[in-house]
Structure 1
Amino acid sequence: MSHPHGRTALTALLPLTLTAATLAYATEANGPVVTDAVSAAATTLTVAKDGSAQYTTVQAAVNAVPANNASRVVIAVAPGTYRELVKVPSDKPHVTIQGTGASRKDTVIVYNNAAGTQKPDGSGTYGTGGSATVAVEADDFQARNLSITNDFDEAANQSLSGHQAVALRTAADKVFLDGVIVTGDQDTLLLDTAAKDKLGRVYVSDSYVLGNVDFIFGRATAVIDRSVITLRKRWDGSSAGYVTAPSTAADRKSILIANSTVNGDVSSGSFYLGRPWHAGGDATLDPQTTVRNTNLSAAVKSTPWTDMSGFSWKADRFAEYKNTGAGAGSASTDRPFLTDAQAAGQEVADWLGDWTPTAS
């Protein structure tokens, strides 16, 4: 397994402005490769808080991307904490937001909206999807070498109804999150699609996702690969939570966690790997989470799946395959394992189909 701690920051290899015909490199033995052809077509926009770049906010750079752009635009963001909301609209595909620091911790995009937060214009609350610090609605989006955070303070807002607070929401196809940290508590990472009948593939690699309740969720066809999923305590210091809450249509693949680690400073046997989210009470959905070839800490319950809102997990698609660690356990009727034959059809490539994520 390629562990995020040992991964060279991809952007440490990049100059602030990309030049054609000079950017061909590999991140690591089994990592993505940037080709000259892709890079030659790229345009770079620069962001720095201190005014030393083209823009002082990430959103200003996104706004400068031409609508319906045909080639890659790299938004190179200098180290700093950017407290802002960022939205990449659906008519701005092929955008990369990339931190230029030595570490993914150096460049942070952060905000603190929650589902129950009132909008400034008085038009109501944000709702879960609207609470996202970064919202991606454009296809072929990439994020690299940075942190995306929702730091909503649950303890200080106990009177607020709706503590779901999304750090990153994706509602697009071919989204590649490479070498990032996504941090929140409840509903950290919303992996959605543009519409119920639309395919939305997301590939997360060499990254960290932190949270406690349903913090990897949605209806996208999503892979968390070679990453660390960190379980966090609740606002009151208690240990209890759910890693995934898929809400997939019956004919689509949902969440695959592979070649990764699930850990965190929480109590033993306190977290479920997932539960079925039938969004809107839709009984036609067939939520799916597969966790395979992953190291599970003792924090994972011996019966790692549970029901949600009256829907039984056993009626949906939840399974494991060849996990390791103190939380791995053994197969039972309450803990289904894939057979070798089943597992052969639930590889990363099966999720991604004709898409091969390539850094650009």
Structure 2
Amino acid sequence: MNIARLVTALAATTLVLAVATPAHADESTSAPGTVTRPILSRAEAAPFVPRTYFGFSGEYEAPVADPWHPAPIVTPRRPDLLVGGHGFATVQEAVNAAYRAGGTERRFIGILPGVYPGTVFIPAGSPPLTLYGLGRPADVRLEFTVDATVTPAAWAALVNADGRYAEGDPAWPMFQSCATKTSATAGLCATVVWAQSTDLQLKGLTITNTLLDTVDRGTHQALALRTDADRTQLEGMRLISRQDTFLANADDVARIARVSVRDSYIEGDTDFVFGRAAAVFTATHFHLVSSRKASGGVIFAPNTAPNYPYGFLVTHCLITADDGYAAAPTGFLGRAWDQGASATGYLPGITPNGQLVIRDSLIGAGFNAVTPWAPAATTARPFAARIDDGRDLNDINYNRLYEYANGGRAHRIG
């Protein structure tokens, strides 16, 4: 599916619908919006484009101009390393081989159609890697069932039941960092694919945490993909889980990590796109499902550094909810993740303050048009935005979740 073309076509339809809609029915879609649904003006929206999100690297407190221009991912017909068929049996084995080969040249790992159970850890220090499917994304499947509620010891036994991680292996330190945790649960180690390497490219794969609807609607983090490093690219990917599907992370909390996601599909029900990275999502379909959690689902949960202006940018994307949300539009576009503030409450300038702009996108039925942003995760801080003249869009005392030039939703659920 060409999401960008679909959004453009449906946005044109939305304009037709808008002509027949009374002006007073959708006043909140004009700048500055309301305290519960802030809207950017054209001038305010101008900086929120990919080049600014990708323009800086280094420390949050002292960003360095370092433009990154991620080009479309080009893959060879014959990869350097093959998974499936007469190649490596697991993706992890191919990653280990690429790591041991070393060097600075990009290495291509092609994956034949099939189901590849188990986790994949891609350690820092790997050469630039491209992992890609040699078939339709839906047919090249990396899958595992792991729930964050298990203990670190239980996590280690589950993840390493086949002995894929051994002392001396490249990914052993990543495995050990989770297996030896002293916390009660495995937490964010509960992921199918975990990458700490810079300049990673993933293309044409489906990654699914198959926990899915086997648990109640409670807190069951079950990540499909976690990326921790700078200059990570995803293209033509399918990421599927329920809570916390994709963590676009910055493993070093002091440094910027940039992520580009294009032409992909991401599915979940709770905070299923979250993290600290400066991430741009283009022509991507986000789908909120009600099969496990019938109401109040949340898509985005950024935990951006409080004084850094660029967290998540969602542009020319499609945002939908399943039929379970159509009758009672209780879905939320997102909320801030006040990470680390459960004991103290939100501390302005210290606690992360999630930043997100959704612009030029199509938002389908099922979302709350009056209050599309939920109270913050961790602290339940009520959502509040500035709508005064000359407002500071990065005021640490307010939320930083905005819309600009979106279509679709208001004319469907009114």
Please indicate the TM-score interval, normalised by the length of the shorter structure: 0.7 to 0.9
Contact 1:224–1:260 (8 Å) recurs in 2: yes
CA 260–234 in structure 1, closer or farther in 2 if over 3 Å, else same: same
Among all aligned residue pairs of Structure 1 and Structure 2, give the percentage whose two residues are the same amino acid.
29
- Point out where structure 1 has 5 or more consecutive residues left out of the alignment: 7-30, 331-360
Contact 1:206–1:225 (8 Å) recurs in 2: yes
- Partners in 2 of 1:267 and 1:180 — Cα distance? 25
- Partners in 2 of 1:5 and 1:210 — Cα distance? 20
Partner residue in 1 for 2:301: 245
Contact 1:88–1:137 (8 Å) recurs in 2: yes
User: What is the CA deviation profile of residues 109-130 of structure 1, one whole-angstrom value per residue up to 9, with x for unaligned ones?
Assistant: 0111111123244867653310
Partner residue in 2 for 1:313: 383
Return structure 1 stretches of 4+ with deviation > 6 angstroms. Answer: none
Equivalent of 2:94, from 61, 69, 76? 61
Structure 1 position 162, deviation (Å) = 4.6
RMSD: 2.8
Partner residue in 2 for 1:267: 325
Residue identity opposite 1:81 in structure 2 = V
Partner residue in 2 for 1:111: 144
Residue identity opposite 1:304 in structure 2 = P
Residue identity opposite 1:174 in structure 2 = R
- Partners in 2 of 1:5 and 1:145 — Cα distance? 19
CA 328–126 in structure 1, closer or farther in 2 if over 3 Å, else same: farther
Residue identity opposite 1:307 in structure 2 = P
Partner residue in 1 for 2:210: 151
User: What is the CA deviation profile of residues 157-179 of structure 1, one whole-angstrom value per residue up to 9, with x for unaligned ones?
Assistant: 449x8511000000011110000
Contact 1:301–1:327 (8 Å) recurs in 2: no
- Partners in 2 of 1:173 and 1:252 — Cα distance? 17
1:280 aligned onto 2:336: no
Structure 1 position 298, deviation (Å) = 1.5
- Point out where structure 2 has 5 or more consecutive residues left out of the alignment: 7-69, 158-178, 385-397
Q: Secondary structure at the match of 1:119?
A: helix
CA 4–58 in structure 1, closer or farther in 2 if over 3 Å, else same: farther
CA 90–328 in structure 1, closer or farther in 2 if over 3 Å, else same: farther
Residue identity opposite 1:87 in structure 2 = F
Matches within 5 A, 1:100-179: 100-101=134-135, 103-117=136-150, 118-121=154-157, 127-155=186-214, 157-158=215-216, 162-179=219-236
- Partners in 1 of 2:302 and 2:271 — Cα distance? 9
Residue identity opposite 1:248 in structure 2 = T
CA 4–106 in structure 1, closer or farther in 2 if over 3 Å, else same: farther
Residue identity opposite 2:339 in structure 1 = A
Matches within 5 A, 1:297-312: 297-302=364-369, 303-308=371-376, 309-312=379-382
Structure 1 position 313, deviation (Å) = 3.1
Structure 1 position 34, deviation (Å) = 6.1
Bigger fraction of residues in helix: 2
Larger mean CA deviation between 310-319 and 256-265 belongs to 310-319
- Partners in 2 of 1:313 and 1:116 — Cα distance? 28
CA 120–34 in structure 1, closer or farther in 2 if over 3 Å, else same: closer
Residue identity opposite 1:141 in structure 2 = L
User: What is the CA deviation profile of residues 198-241 of structure 1, one whole-angstrom value per residue up to 9, with x for unaligned ones?
Assistant: 111111000000001000001000111101111111426x1331
Partner residue in 2 for 1:344: none
Partner residue in 2 for 1:19: none
Equivalent of 1:226, from 274, 283, 296? 283
Partner residue in 2 for 1:358: none
Contact 1:203–1:224 (8 Å) recurs in 2: yes
Partner residue in 2 for 1:90: 124
Partner residue in 2 for 1:322: 405
Matches within 5 A, 1:12-51: 32-33=71-72, 44-48=80-84
User: What is the CA deviation profile of residues 82-124 of structure 1, one whole-angstrom value per residue up to 9, with x for unaligned ones?
Assistant: 11100100111411110001x1101000111111123244867
Q: Secondary structure at the match of 2:187?
A: helix
**TM-score normalised to the size of structure 2?**
0.66
- Partners in 2 of 1:177 and 1:72 — Cα distance? 16
- Partners in 2 of 1:264 and 1:130 — Cα distance? 28
Higher relative contact order at CA 8 Å, sep ≥6: structure 1 or structure 2? 2
Residue identity opposite 1:245 in structure 2 = A
- Partners in 2 of 1:275 and 1:291 — Cα distance? 13
**TM-score normalised to the size of structure 1?**
0.75
CA 235–271 in structure 1, closer or farther in 2 if over 3 Å, else same: same
Residue identity opposite 2:236 in structure 1 = G
CA 104–4 in structure 1, closer or farther in 2 if over 3 Å, else same: farther
Structure 1 position 267, deviation (Å) = 1.2
- Partners in 2 of 1:201 and 1:252 — Cα distance? 13
Partner residue in 1 for 2:358: 291
Please identify the structure whose Cα radius of gyration is greater.
2
Residue identity opposite 2:187 in structure 1 = T
Larger mean CA deviation between 201-210 and 115-124 belongs to 115-124
Q: Secondary structure at the match of 1:278?
A: coil
User: What is the CA deviation profile of residues 126-167 of structure 1, one whole-angstrom value per residue up to 9, with x for unaligned ones?
Assistant: 533100100011000011111011111444x449x8511000
